Chains A and B, each alone.
Chain A
């Protein structure tokens, strides 16, 4: 596991939020909402739905702040996970054909992180990107697309025009290699 930074400036907000401090929630919102809105938009490609999800995310943080364990994850990791999960649930709720209207608009990731993202990337991020780059391009691209867009195996298979079992096998093998690489 990557070491958790000794100083997480957002961590002190969580106990305050858990005790019902709305100012603390607002501080967290100001520090993180643009990031989380970006995560939701990426998955849902719909502003209105992303706004609804973002509202649910901060409501969840408000209710669940006491469950946050600073020893296990950074605040940003924790709340990004909540945002991804909520956005993916919303995407699934659209039904099994939710991917259909995205095929034309979105391409499979080319596997290259944006330059500015690399500049601000943390050590964990650098390690993960390094390990992804050790995978073959196609596998790394599919894993990135799955993460960023929250689509199902079925949707990925459809987009890539490849049998579902093959896509599943690419991803499973890729993830296994990724795990091995990160543990080195």
Chain B
């Protein structure tokens, strides 16, 4: 018995190994040279979009944008989420890279700065085309790699300042405001608050009464705002929040306190914030345009994979760049409530049209 089963197992193992080997050889023979020239048949391209989770409206919109682009070129996007878990993100990436990588295009939102290097190294080794967004360590240079095509991010200082200025304008240029910061040890929270401080310096009549953290969370923002409202009372004329979730929490706190005279600003342009701006309860937010982010990463990879764009032809300042963001207030909110994806945004000769300059 023992022997037979062992023999059977060995036989199966050998057969499997042989099958796999043949498979590999065939692939290398077929796909190898084509990929080296950057000329995948469009139909062979696999498009993958990876974000933290779909329960976040912004990231869900991101993946929807990826679907729109995929449809545009007659493909489907594989939607991956990793629940904000770095280990799971790495596992998903290694699984992808263990498969057929010759014509693989990945548009990835790394969980944190430190998650980017292993993803980049993996893609480079496997020959998959990679675009990353938001997070990368400052000393990791995209130009050192051939398959890491581009890194797109947004200037947090700029967005923090934009909503700071909008807030100052809404309260008539003078008065007391409070600030709700994000998770204090993240770059986004730091940059956005630095931008707000710039705005405060430019509007000397606006006084920052208090700044507290609500960790980017709606529930925490509700509690912190309630406490600050009892602390400062009528002195508060405006609330600056480092993201929309906190701004929405602050709005609930204002409603519960019966205050309607306080201006609230946030960042991210989540659907609820847009509704609040439409209704006039919220003043302004900043949009990075999630659907565009979901599409553009795939578009860059697609254009390089098909050979319409060569990596060497991408200018150095387009390898790591700040994309354009939009201040949304009551005047233009209608344009953003149902965002339309313009096909020309993803044309191979128009990929970098939203660049605001290289990442500093």
Q: Do A and B bind each other?
A: no
